[in-house]
Amino acid sequence: MAIVGQRRRFTLFDYVNYLFMVVLCASVLYPIMYLFFLSVSTREGLAEASSSILLWPQGFSWGAYEGFVKQSYIYTGYAYTVGRTLIGTFLSVLFMSLAGYALSKYIPFKKSITFYFILTMFFSGGLIPTYLLIKNVGLIDNPLVYILAPPFLYNTFYMLILRNFFMTIPGSLEESAKIDGANDLRLFFTIMVPLAAPAIATISLWVAVNHWNSWFDSIIYMQSPEKQVIQVHIRKLIIEQSARMMSQTVSFFDKAEAPTGESIKAAAILITMFPILCVYPFVQRYFVKGVVMGAVKG
């Protein structure tokens, strides 16, 4: 692109500023590249390397990844993460859109109902009472908890963003559809949802990323390891340094050619963040739009 403002000269400030930006980008990208290089390096390669500042892979092998393909916990963890993200996001956005649409209309008691939702943003029972409730309704160790438990199925803030968007749709459209004989249900699905697509897409992305990254609900509500999400397995492997987890993983490898523990851990981190790494460049502009929209109107 052309330089903006031809008369301005590159000063010392600009050099420092540009350098700072490069350092910032490197601080984000290098750790990820480092993990990748580490994950594909071989045991001998890493032993020969004179430093652990990897600028390229030391040797090359997909061994650390192949091990995971045989791991049962990676499969179940991934399955639960993908499942909750798809089903959870669909249901959550469907129900939030319905509620958000209803709140955008003039109906009796609308103010009280809105207040009923907003109040929960400022005061809640807290960890223990919520946990006891989930226990009492029988959702402990039940995968439904991933979809039903707060904060996922409904989120007041997202509902209000959807409501604000529905309010910008002209009422005349609705009237003409009603004259043509559509009832509210039909009107909502055939006219309102397509018109609100930008807002619905933004909220869907937010909910989906939250689902993908969620881990705490899995730790407290799920006792069976085979029902826990991928993030929890990664946590056990790396943060809790669970010896059982590590030996379970390592035992799948042939002793002589086994990748190092560090390669396995690096591969595990990358496997978990891979989907986000792939989609985030495409979805971030919707996120930005949503942030600005939420900030201006919220």
Partner 1 sequence: MMRQNQLVREIIKHKYMYLFLFPAIVWFFIFYYIPIYGVTIAFKDFSIMDGILGSEWIGFDHFERMFGAPEFTRVLRNTLIISFLKLIFVYTSGLFLALALNELFHDKFKKIVQSISYLPHFLSWVIIGSIMVEILSPSSGLVNYMIKAFGGKPIYFLAETEWFVPVLILSDVWQSVGWGSIIYLAAIAGVDPQLYEAATMDGAGRFKKIWHITLPSIANVIIIMMIFNVGNMMNAGFDQIFNLYNPMVYEVADIIDTYVYRVGLVQMDFSFSTAVGLFKNVIGLILVLLVNRMANRYGQTGLW
Sites for partner 1 among residues 180-219 (CB under 8 A): 183-185, 188, 209, 212-216
Kindly state the smallest distance separating residue 262's Cβ from partner 1, in Å.
Answer: 6
Kindly state the smallest distance separating residue 282's Cβ from partner 1, in Å.
Answer: 10
Q: Report how far residue 33's alpha carbon sits from residue 43's, in angstroms, rounded to the nearest whole number.
A: 18
**Per-residue DSSP letters for the chain?**
-PPSSTT----HHHHHHHHHHHHHHHHHHHHHHHHHHHHH--HHHHHH-S-S--SS-SS---HHHHHHHT-HHHHHHHHHHHHIIIIIHHHHHHHHHHHHHHHTS--TTHHHHHHHHHHHHH----HHHHHHHHHHTT-TT-TTHHHHSTTTS--HHHHHHHHHHHHTS-HHHHHHHHHTT--HHHHIIIIIHHHTHHHHHHHHHHHHHHHHH--HHHHHH--SGGGS-HHHHHIIIIIS--HHHHHHHHTTS-TTTPPPHHHHHHHHHHHHHHHHHHHHHHHHHHHHHHHHHHHHH-
Site string for partner 1, 147-166 (x = CB under 8 A): -xxx--xx----x-------
Query: Which one of 21, 33, 47, 173 is in contact with partner 1 (CB under 8 A)?
Result: 21
Structure tokens at 128: 């223990």
Query: Which one of 125, 138, 171, 198 is in contact with partner 1 (CB under 8 A)?
Result: 125
Kindly state the smallest distance separating residue 130's Cβ from partner 1, in Å.
Answer: 5
Under the criterion CB under 8 A, does residue 56 sit at the interface with partner 1?
no
CA 180 centroid distance within chain: 41
Q: Report how far residue 102's alpha carbon sits from residue 218's, in angstroms, rounded to the nearest whole number.
A: 32
Kindly state the smallest distance separating residue 291's Cβ from partner 1, in Å.
Answer: 5
Query: Which one of 93, 99, 207, 245 is in contact with partner 1 (CB under 8 A)?
Result: 99
Query: Which one of 170, 181, 194, 281 is in contact with partner 1 (CB under 8 A)?
Result: 281
- Report whether 63 contacts 257 (CB < 8 A): yes
Kindly state the smallest distance separating residue 153's Cβ from partner 1, in Å.
Answer: 6
Under the criterion CB under 8 A, does residue 86 sit at the interface with partner 1?
no
Query: Which one of 66, 72, 86, 129 is in contact with partner 1 (CB under 8 A)?
Result: 129
Under the criterion CB under 8 A, does residue 239 sit at the interface with partner 1?
yes
Kindly state the smallest distance separating residue 70's Cβ from partner 1, in Å.
Answer: 21
Binding to partner 1 (CB under 8 A) within 103-122 occurs at: 103, 105, 107-108, 113, 116-118, 120, 122
φ/ψ of residue 134, rounded to 5: -60, -40
Kindly state the smallest distance separating residue 88's Cβ from partner 1, in Å.
Answer: 14
Under the criterion CB under 8 A, does residue 174 sit at the interface with partner 1?
no
Under the criterion CB under 8 A, does residue 51 sit at the interface with partner 1?
yes
Q: Report how far residue 119's alpha carbon sits from residue 271's, in angstroms, rounded to the nearest whole number.
A: 39
Nearer to partner 1, 68 or 215 (CB): 215
Under the criterion CB under 8 A, does residue 269 sit at the interface with partner 1?
yes
Kindly state the smallest distance separating residue 259's Cβ from partner 1, in Å.
Answer: 14
Scanning 57-65, 168-176, 246-254, 290-298 for contacts with partner 1 by CB under 8 A, the matching segment is 290-298
Under the criterion CB under 8 A, does residue 74 sit at the interface with partner 1?
no
Under the criterion CB under 8 A, does residue 291 sit at the interface with partner 1?
yes
